[in-house]
Amino acid sequence: MKISVNTNGAPVADKERFKYLKECGFDACDVKLSEYFGVDGVFGDIDAVTDAQIKEYFTELKKCAKEAKMEIGQTHSQFSGKLDDYEGGMADVIKREIACIKATKYLGAKYCVISPVVMEGRRYDLLVSENFNAAAKFYKELIPTLEECKVIGCIENMWTTDPVSRYTCATILSRAKELNKMVKKLGENYKICLDIGHCALTADNPVDVIKAVKDNLVCMHIHDNNGWADLHAIPYGGFGKPVGLKPVRIDWPTTLEAIKESGYKGNINFDIVPPGPVDIRKDGYLYLADIGRYFVSVIKG
């Protein structure tokens, strides 16, 4: 079990990020691929990108990680779940996802976290089967590439915003039951990445979710928030219980206990960029790595 963090917050060139994060105390990382394969990314013109280019670029990146003695445990594909962001619609998204899976292979990562398609209006119990089927169809289209690249696709619990109350609420794959159902439908090429912070936004207790999905749980996005906004804050951020309103707050002691009892063997991966100006970024990472070491010590008992 290694201490991991996403790479995109390190305020240096991408090839230097592994060394930077290693110096901050991390052993592993999660490479966010949106900066490469997003519409405005380095390889944003997806139709012009060749396999050879992907191989060359990400093999080099893997070399940098190896030199820094950093494991690339997982990647984050670039798709946010909203089809409206892509002029070319689903066909365009699929091309980008395929490129992300290939990049994951060349980076030597085992897992690629892929957001589901989130249909407009899918919230609470609305459009449940429609969105489930659409997401399953999307995920299935990626199976040949996942098999070819020997990469495991990871589905992730999501949240959305209620258009009336403007509060965060549940959507596709928010609930543990639906996560398990999706994995069962997709087969052995897919597992689960649990986003602990998202649990609080959909009023799900991460303790219950971990217990329910433990057999399919292979990686995590760990971060904190105030139960209202997807802040991606450092755990123990001091989000005390508010007066009057009672959003879900992540209870870290019981969450760590649930991870321990689940038999989880993956990395402790933080989906966090330390807040504030770049000048204090490294201090934030050092603190986060200390929290990571504490988490591992609790989980390993």
Partner 1 sequence: MKISATGANTNGLQFLARAGFEACDFNVGWYFTSKASPLYDIYNVTDQQIVEYFTPLRQLADELGIEIFQTHGLGCVVVGDFEGGLKEYVARARGAYLASKVLGAKYCVQHPSFDCTCPYDINRKRSVAHMLEAYSACNEALEEFGIICCIENMHHTNLTYRHRAATSLSRAKDMAERADTLGKNFGVCLDVGHCTVTEDDPVEAVYILGDRLKVLHTHDNDGMWDLHQFPYVRQGKPPSRSPMKIDWELFMKALADIGYNGTLSFETGAPGPEPIRDAGQKYLAAIGRYLVSRYEFYKGK
Q: Which residues contact 295 (CB under 8 A, 6 or more apart)?
A: 3, 222, 235, 256, 268
Say how many CA atoms lie within 13 Å of 40 toward its Cβ.
1
CA dist., res. 95 & res. 84, Å (int): 16
CA dist., res. 59 & res. 65, Å (int): 10
**Least Å from the CB of residue 137 to partner 1:** 29
Measured from the CB atom, the residue of 124 and 236 that comes closer to partner 1 is: 236
**Least Å from the CB of residue 39 to partner 1:** 22
**Least Å from the CB of residue 192 to partner 1:** 25
CA dist., res. 291 & res. 285, Å (int): 10
Counting contacts by CB under 8 A, is residue 263 touching partner 1? no
User: Which 126-165 positions form the footprint of partner 1 (CB under 8 A)?
Assistant: 161, 165
Measured from the CB atom, the residue of 140 and 249 that comes closer to partner 1 is: 249
Counting contacts by CB under 8 A, is residue 276 touching partner 1? yes
Measured from the CB atom, the residue of 15 and 293 that comes closer to partner 1 is: 293
Applying CB under 8 A, among 40, 47, 245, 265 the residue interacting with partner 1 is: 245
CA dist., res. 96 & res. 99, Å (int): 5
CA dist., res. 270 & res. 293, Å (int): 12
User: Which 282-301 positions form the footprint of partner 1 (CB under 8 A)?
Assistant: 283-284, 286-287, 290-291, 294, 297
Measured from the CB atom, the residue of 177 and 246 that comes closer to partner 1 is: 246
CA dist., res. 5 & res. 222, Å (int): 9
| Side-by-side strand order, sheet with 268-270 | 217-221, 190-195, 152-156, 111-114, 71-76, 28-32, 3-6, 268-270
Measured from the CB atom, the residue of 116 and 292 that comes closer to partner 1 is: 292
Counting contacts by CB under 8 A, is residue 277 touching partner 1? yes
Long-range contacts of residues 130-137, Cβ cutoff 8 Å, at least 24 apart: 131/171, 131/172, 132/172, 132/178, 132/181, 132/182, 135/172, 135/173, 135/182, 136/182, 136/185, 136/186
Q: Taking CB under 8 A as the rule, which mask of x and - marks residues 212-241 in contact with partner 1?
A: --------------x-xxxxxxxxxxxxx-
Site size for partner 1, by CB under 8 A?
Answer: 38
Applying CB under 8 A, among 168, 262, 267, 269 the residue interacting with partner 1 is: 168
Q: Which residues contact 75 (CB under 8 A, 6 or more apart)?
A: 30, 31, 32, 33, 100, 103, 104, 107, 109, 111, 112, 113
Measured from the CB atom, the residue of 188 and 283 that comes closer to partner 1 is: 283
**Least Å from the CB of residue 240 to partner 1:** 5
Applying CB under 8 A, among 58, 252, 264, 270 the residue interacting with partner 1 is: 252
Measured from the CB atom, the residue of 166 and 265 that comes closer to partner 1 is: 166
Query: Which residues would be at the binding site for partner 1 (CB under 8 A)?
Result: 161, 165-168, 226, 228-240, 242-245, 252-253, 275-277, 279-280, 283-284, 286-287, 290-291, 294, 297
